[in-house]
Amino acid sequence: MRMVCLMNSGEMPLYASLNRMYSQLISLMRDILAVFDGGGLELIEDVAEREADVDAMLYLVERQVRVALDSHLVASSLKVSRHQALEYSNLAKSLERMMDHAFQIGNYLLEFEMPKLSLESIPLSVIPRWLDALKELMINIRTRESPRIEAARNELKQSQKVLESHEEILMKSNKKAGTILFEFKLSESLRRQCAYASDFGEILLNLKVNDEMSSRRINEE
């Protein structure tokens, strides 16, 4: 076991912080799916602790970025340019916002009576699609393959449209008010997660463009 002092801003790689945030996010969403599939609420009883962990990692990333902008040595130790450091901070914010909505969904389940929803139907059927798209984007933090990033973003945009249509249908539904409200809030949170994940992909494309411009300037010099 290797102890890492987080007081040293250059000690913890930015990618490692993002990966921890991502791991907490997807583990919570998978547990939420398991609860909808009949699992016990004890699977998500620690939802507040998981959200707090993601918040803490965001604060760490933002602190590292601030220091990196002031110190070339810290930026070098983190193995990122100052522009990259700023974009990594934006990636972390997107993950934190997705976690906020995972936290909200978890609280809905803990605080309100859960209606019976099919995993194969909207809105729950969007969660596996969102998980796959976000996984693809996380892989591309390093590889930055534009076609794969765009494919993931297109999948997320399609999911957003499906959820928007579902919410319109809910507004005209004759289900019980409590059931409609629960399902509407669930759909809205999932839709926002898709939107933030799409933003995540756009940030990756910005990073790729900046890298290409930097390489072009170096070659011209």
For the chain, the C-alpha Rg in angstroms (whole number) is: 19
Residue 142 has what pLDDT? Answer: 87
Residue 124 has what pLDDT? Answer: 97
CA distance 2 to 88: 25
Query: Does 115 or 198 have the greater pLDDT score?
Result: 198
Q: What is the pLDDT of residues 155-207, one digit of tens each?
A: 999 999 999 999 999 999 998 998 999 999 999 999 999 999 999 999 999 99
| 99 touches 48 (CB < 8 A) | no
Q: Six-digit token pair at 185?
A: 């809030």
Residue 25 has what pLDDT? Answer: 98
Q: Domains in the chain, start-ordered, CATH in brackets?
A: 14-220 (1.20.58.220)
Residue 221 has what pLDDT? Answer: 55
Q: What is the pLDDT of residues 37-95, one digit of tens each?
A: 999 999 999 999 999 999 999 999 999 888 877 777 666 667 777 788 899 999 999 99
Please tell me the pTM assigned to this model. 0.90
Query: Does 9 or 147 have the greater pLDDT score?
Result: 147
Q: Is 71 left (phi over 0), alpha (psi -120 to 50) or beta?
A: beta
| 199 touches 94 (CB < 8 A) | yes
